Chain A
C-alpha cells in the first residue's frame, strides 16, 4: 500500500513537470494526489508522510520565482554533481528522486517538529502550573516524546466490534490527508515550497474541509455516542470558523494581489512595518481574528469542545487506539504548525526578518554562493522560528484560558468574529485603495518617507 502510494505520488509529480506548458493547475492535481498517496503510505506504516518536502523539489525543478534564494541547489546539481556523473540521468528519474527526497524531508520535518511540540506543550503546561513536567528521559525530558512515540506504535490497535470497519480505518487517513495536503503550498523558506500554486491560499482554505469529513467519518464509524457528540461539535465548529478565516484570507489577497503564498510573503519585504499585521489597522484586527479562529480550527483550547475530556471522554477519537490514535494526534500538531505558518505568511512577514540589511543577504545576483546559502538558511530558520513561536502561543493560550461553552463558541463566531471580519475586509480594501501599501498605518507616507 505504501509502495503504491509512493509510486502514485511520483507518477503525478512527473506528469506535472514533464509538461512545461501545463499551468499550476496540473501541479495542484498532482500535489493533491501525491499527498493522498503519501498519507496512505504513512498510514500503512503507522507513520505520516510529509508533502512539504516535495515542494522543494518542485520549486527547484520549475525554477520558480526570480529571487536568488534557492538557486544554489540547482547550481549544485548542474555544476558540481551532474557533469561528473558517468551517465546521463533521465529527467523523470531526477524528478522522481527529488520528489521522494522532498517527501522524506517534509515528513521528517513534521515528525521532528511534532516530537518537539509535544515536549514543548508538556513543559509549558507544567511550568504554567508550577510543575516540572517530564524530567526523566533525556535532559529536561527532551526525549520523552520519542519514548511516548515508541510506546504508541507498540500499543494494540483496537477496532470495536460494532464499529463500521472500513470507515473506521479510513477516517484517520482522511484527517491526516486533509492536514498534509495543506502543506503543499506552504513555504518553509524562500523558494522552499512543495509546489507554489498560484491558488495556494484558496487551496489551503478548500482542502481544510477534507479534515472535517474525516472527523465526521471517525465519529460515525466509532458507533459511540460520545464520539458522535464530539463529531457534531467538531463539524459545527470547524465549518463555522472557516468563514472568518476565509474572510481574513480574502483581505490579505486583496492587499497582496496574489493567492500564491510565496508572492504574499514577497510582497511584505522591507522593514517590519511592511508586514501585513502593521499594514493598516483593519489588517491588525483581522490578524487577531485569524489567530482566534485558527485556534478553533485546530480544535485547541479554549475551543476544545470536540474532545472536551470532562464531558465527552475524548470526542471523536474516543474509540481509537494505537497508531490510529497517533495519526489523529500527529494531525492535530501538524495542523497547529500549519495554521501558525499560514499566519506567519499572511500577517507576520513570512521569512523576512523585518530588517532589510539582513534580508538582503545573498539576494543580489552578484552575491557569492556562500552568502546566498547563508541568506537561504537564515530565511528558512526565521520562517520556522516564527511559526514555532506561534505554536508556543497556542500552547500558552491553552493552559491559560478555560474552555468556552458551546453556545459561547457559536456566539463568538457568528456574532462577533464574522461581523468584525466583514467590516475589516471592507475597511482594509478601502484603505488599500486610498493609501496603498506604505505600511505602519500609512504613517511613513504621511511623514514623507
Chain B
C-alpha cells in the first residue's frame, strides 16, 4: 500500500465515521461538529482525486459557510425555556435504519457490480484551475449564469423570509422591537 493509498483510507474514515456517529448523537451542536469532520473528509477525498480547487471550495463553502449557518441556526433556535423534544422512537428508527440500509446495499451493489469502463487516470501535469476557469466561461457558461442568478435569488429570498418582523407581529417577543430599532440604526 503506497503512501497516497494510505491517505485515502485516512480521509475515507474521516468522511464516513463522523457521518455515522451523527445518528447516535443527541446534542445538535455536536452533530454539527461531527458534520464538520465528515465534510473535511470529503474535501480530503477531493484532493485525493486531484481536484484541489474543488477540495478548497468545499472547505470554503461548506465549512466556512454552510456549517457556520447551521451553527447559527442551532443557536437561534435553542432556548432553555423550550424543552427539546427528541422523539427517536423505534417506530421511526427501525424503518429509517432499514430504508437507509436498503438504499446503501442497492448503491453498493450497483457500484461494485457494474462493469465500469474505467481507464487508468491520466497523470496530471499541470494545475486544473486555469482549465476550470476557462470551462466556466465557455462550455459551462449557461449553468454558470443560471447558478449565479439562483444564488442571487436565494440570497434575496432568504433575507426576505428571515427578516425581523414588525413589532406587534404574531408571537412578537420583547426583543423584536429592540432588534428592529437596531436594524433601523444600521
Q: Which residues from chain A sit less than 8 Å from chain B, CB to CB?
A: 8, 11-12, 14-16, 18-19, 21-26, 28-30, 32-33, 164, 167, 170, 197-199, 202-203, 205-210, 212-213, 216-217, 220, 228, 232, 235, 239, 242, 259, 407, 410-411
Q: A30-B7, A210-B59 are in contact. Are A202 and B53 (CB under 8 A)?
A: yes
Q: In the assembled complex, how far is the CB of residue B67 from the closest CB belonging to chain A, in whole angstroms?
A: 6
Q: B7 near A33 (CB under 8 angstroms)? A: yes
In the complex formed, the residue of A with least CB distance to B52 is A25
- Does any Cβ of A come within 8 Å of B140's Cβ? no
Q: Nearest residue in B to A12 (C-beta to C-beta)? A: B7
| A411: B residues at CB distance < 8 A | 186
Residue B60, interface by CB 8 Å = yes
User: In the complex, what residues of A have CB within 8 A of residue B127's CB?
Assistant: 23-24, 198-199
What is the minimal beta-carbon distance from A409 to any residue of chain B, in angstroms?
Answer: 10
- Size bin of chain B's contact surface: 35 or more
Give the shortest distance, in Å, between B78 (CB) and chain A (any CB): 10
A20 → chain B closest CB, angstroms: 9
B50 touches which of A8, A25, A198 (Cβ 8 Å): A25
Main secondary structure on B side of the interface with A: helix
CA distance A296 to B185 in the complex (A): 21
Query: Bound state CA distance, A170 and B37, in angstroms?
Result: 12
Chain B stretch 121-176: residues in CB contact (< 8 A) with chain A: 123-129
In the complex, are the beta carbons of B30 and A164 less than 8 A apart? yes
Distance A220 CA – B74 CA, assembled complex (angstroms): 11
| Interchain residue pairs A-B with the least CB separation, the first 9 | A209-B64, A15-B3, A25-B52, A29-B47, A206-B60, A21-B123, A23-B124, A206-B59, A15-B4
Instruction: Tell me whether B51 is interfacial, beta carbon within 8 Å.
Output: yes
A166 to B51, CA, bound (A): 32
State whether the Cβ of B81 lies closer than 8 Å to any Cβ in chain A.
no
Interface mask (B67-91 → A, CB under 8 Å = 1, otherwise 0):
1100110010000000000000000
Query: Within 8 Å CB of A203, what residues of B?
Result: 56
Given contact pairs A21-B123, A25-B50, A199-B56, A212 touches B64 in the complex (Cβ within 8 A): yes
> Does B114 touch A at the CB level, under 8 Å?
no
Q: Which residues of B contact A210 (CB under 8 A)?
A: 59, 63-64
Q: Are B33 and A167 in contact (CB under 8 A)?
A: yes
Q: Which residue of A lies closest to B183 (CB)?
A: A407
- The answer to whether B36 and A213 have CB atoms under 8 Å apart is yes
With a cutoff of 8 Å between Cβ atoms, the chain A residues found around residue B72 in the complex are: 232, 235
Contact at B67–A213, with CB atoms within 8 Å?
Answer: yes
A407:B53 contact, CB within 8 angstroms:
no
Known contacts A202-B53, A239-B68; decide if A22 and B4 are in contact (CB<8 Å).
yes
Which of these, B3, B44, B68, contacts A209 with CB under 8 Å? B68
Complex-state Cα separation, A24 to B50, whole angstroms? 8
The residues in B between 18 and 63 inclusive whose CB is less than 8 angstroms from any CB of A are 27, 29-30, 33, 36, 44, 47-48, 50-53, 55-57, 59-60, 63
Contact of A29 among B7, B64, B123, B186 (CB under 8 A): B7
Pair A205/B47 contact, Cβ less than 8 Å: no
Contact A228 B64 (CB under 8 A): no
Quote the shortest CB–CB distance from B86 to chain A (angstroms): 17
Q: How far is the CB of A165 from chain B (nearest CB, A)?
A: 11
- Decide if B182 is an interface residue (CB 8 Å cutoff): yes
B10 contacts partner chain A, Cβ-Cβ < 8 Å: yes
Residues in A whose Cβ lies below 8 Å from that of B118: none
* Smallest CB separation, B36 vs chain A (Å): 6
Of the A-B pairs whose beta carbons lie under 8 Å apart in the complex, a sample of 8, sorted by A's number, is A16-B3, A18-B3, A19-B3, A23-B125, A25-B128, A199-B56, A206-B57, A407-B182
* Alpha-carbon distance between A25 and B46 when the two chains are bound, in angstroms: 9
With contacts A12-B3, A199-B129 known, what are 15 further pairs, Cβ within 8 A? A11-B7, A22-B50, A23-B124, A28-B47, A28-B52, A29-B47, A30-B7, A199-B53, A206-B57, A206-B59, A209-B60, A209-B63, A213-B63, A217-B33, A239-B64
List B contacts of A15 (CB < 8 A): 2-4, 6-7
In the docked arrangement, what's the CA distance between A164 and B32, Å? 14
**CB neighbours of B36 from chain A (8 A):** 213
| Separation of A75 and B62 alpha carbons in the complex (Å) | 44
Neighbouring A residues of B59 by C-beta, 8 Å: 206-207, 209-210
Q: Is the Cβ of A26 less than 8 Å from the Cβ of B4?
A: yes
Cα distance, A2 to B37, chains bound together (Å): 20
Give the distance to chain B from A384, nearest Cβ to Cβ, in Å: 27
